[in-house]
Amino acid sequence: MQRTRKWNLLPKWIVANSVGELLGLGATFLIGAGLFAGLSDAPGIGPALLTAALMTATGALEGVIVGLAQWIVLGRAIVGIPRRSWVVATAIGGVVAWLFGSIPMTLARLSADAGASTAQEPPQAMVLLMASAMGLVAGVVLSAAQWISFRRQVPRAWRWLPANAIAWAAGMPLIFAGIDLAQKLASRLMVVVVMGVTIALAGSVVGAIHGVALVVLVAEIEARRASSPRPSEPG
């Protein structure tokens, strides 16, 4: 019965992560579509750097929304983790991850502006493989500040880092595949629908993977509390 109760945490975490990414990452894509429309085709280093800066800033928005959604579940599962600490940590991870993600795109854009020959797009399988590798790194970046936030309450909290790396290595290719499909659609409504479904699905997959790690961590916390000596009652 106790084990079943622990695993009841997983579906709640998956839903929270999916909704958080749908609202957070979805908002960044909508903002990007509006703000970057005029900058994406503008030549020069100025527009390229401004685009990268705006992309990085949207990571804070995604992090705040995802952090809040996660804490609704996490705050009940692990006592002692302040909401502000978790949300700020998630926002920091989002900003750093988007910063690293904007670097290769900015360099590629500046190379194209410099007159480099247009390279042929790599095969879709290669793109998805690269997306998985990117997710592997992004997962560690996204979760590093979270690990610092709850390492005092969680035994062997370092396991949160590889759990997130594996989770995003699986989730990032789904996002890239959704973007590729959306770019081929003519209807804006269908683009929004496809991206919404893609982000929600990716959030569910990511949440399911690092959610298993969270259940294990919570179980160990409860086991440690149960085995610790209790103060004797006054007789």
DSSP 140-207: HHHHHHHHHHHTTTSTTGGGHHHHHHHHHHHHHHHHHHHHHHHHT---HHHHHHHHHHHHHHHHHHHH
Q: How many helices (H) and strands (E) does the chain have?
A: 7, 0
* pLDDT of res. 79: 75
Rounded to two decimals, the pTM is 0.84
Domain residue ranges of the chain, discontinuous segments joined by +: 2-115+124-227
Q: Grade residue 113 by pLDDT with cuts at 50, 70 and 90.
A: low
* pLDDT of res. 42: 57
Taking alpha carbons only, the member of 67, 68, 69, 61 closest to residue 35 is 61
pLDDT digits (tens, 9 = 90+) for 148-182: 988 888 888 999 999 999 999 999 999 999 988 98
Stretch 187-212: mean pLDDT: 94
* pLDDT of res. 40: 57
* pLDDT of res. 125: 86
* pLDDT of res. 48: 65
**What does the alpha-carbon distance between residue 71 and residue 81 come to, in Å, rounded to a whole number?**
9
pLDDT digits (tens, 9 = 90+) for 67-81: 999 999 998 888 788
Q: Please give the share of the chain, as a percent, with pLDDT higher than 90.
A: 43
| Cβ partners under 8 Å of residue 150, min gap 6 | 78, 81, 86, 157, 160
* pLDDT of res. 180: 87
pLDDT digits (tens, 9 = 90+) for 14-71: 999 999 999 998 888 887 766 665 555 555 576 667 777 777 888 899 999 999 999 9
- Residue 234, pLDDT above cutoff 50: no
Stretch 209-233: mean pLDDT: 79
Answer with the residue of higher pLDDT: 11 or 229. 11
* pLDDT of res. 233: 46
DSSP letter assigned to residue 184: T
Q: Please give the share of the chain, as a percent, with pLDDT higher than 70.
A: 80
Stretch 203-230: mean pLDDT: 86
Mean pLDDT, the chain, as a whole number?
A: 83
